């Protein structure tokens, strides 16, 4: 279920459906709080709220858990923005 929910949350986030994104994310946090993709999505939510520090910390945790993941690229991009 987690990969499918990650995909649904990602699609909702890209389409700007914030409530749907947050709903999927809440379920994912309950199911797999340490999953690198869930951490990455939480980072996107934090960044959208304007909390760059939390976003950075979450992306670092995601990158540490899965060094070859998309989180590494997003971490690098966020670090360059700061």
Each residue's pLDDT expressed in tens, for the chain with a length of 82 residues? 999 999 999 999 999 999 999 999 999 999 999 999 999 999 999 999 999 999 989 988 988 888 776 766 676 777 777 6
**Would you state the pLDDT for residue 79?**
73
Query: What's the rounded Cα separation, in Å, for the pair 76 and 79?
Result: 5
Give me the long-range contacts of 59-62 (CB less than 8 A, separation at least 24): 62/36, 62/37
Flag whether the pTM goes above 0.75.
yes
Query: What's the rounded Cα separation, in Å, for the pair 44 and 13?
Result: 9
């Amino acid at each position: 279920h987690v990969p499918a929910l990650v995909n649904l949350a990602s699609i909702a986030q890209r389409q700007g459906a914030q409530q749907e994104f947050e709903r999927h994310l809440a379920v994912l946090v309950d199911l797999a709080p340490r999953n690198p993709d869930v951490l990455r999505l939480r980072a996107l939510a934090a960044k959208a709220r304007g909390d760059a520090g939390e976003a950075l910390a979450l992306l670092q945790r995601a990158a540490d858990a899965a060094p070859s993941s998309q989180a590494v690229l997003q971490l690098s991009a966020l670090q360059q923005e700061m």
